[in-house]
Amino acid sequence: MAVVIIAGVPLYLPTGSIRPLVGGVPYWLLISVAATLAFSALTCWACLRDWNLAEPAEEAAAREEATS
């Protein structure tokens, strides 16, 4: 996540660089938008994969229902 955040703040680009324009917008804006989308996708993936909202009692009840 830290890499995506650092990539989204284009301080590593030369000062005053607004060229080249891509579709009429500076390329650093496209870098920031791409990093924002990557951060959002990474956060969604982490939440869907690792976030467990069920309490242990609820999990035990669900396992009990599944076996009976």
Per-residue pLDDT tens for 11-26? 777 777 667 787 888 8
What letter does residue 24 receive in the DSSP assignment?
A: T
8, 35 contact by CB (below 8 A):
yes
Residues of the chain above pLDDT 90, percent: 19
Question: Which residue in the block uniquely carries the two structure tokens 């955040």?
Answer: 5
10, 38 contact by CB (below 8 A):
no
- For the chain, list residues with pLDDT below 70: 17-18, 54, 68
Q: What is the Cα 10 distance to its own chain's centre?
A: 17
Return the number of other C-beta atoms located less than 10 Å from residue 27's C-beta: 16
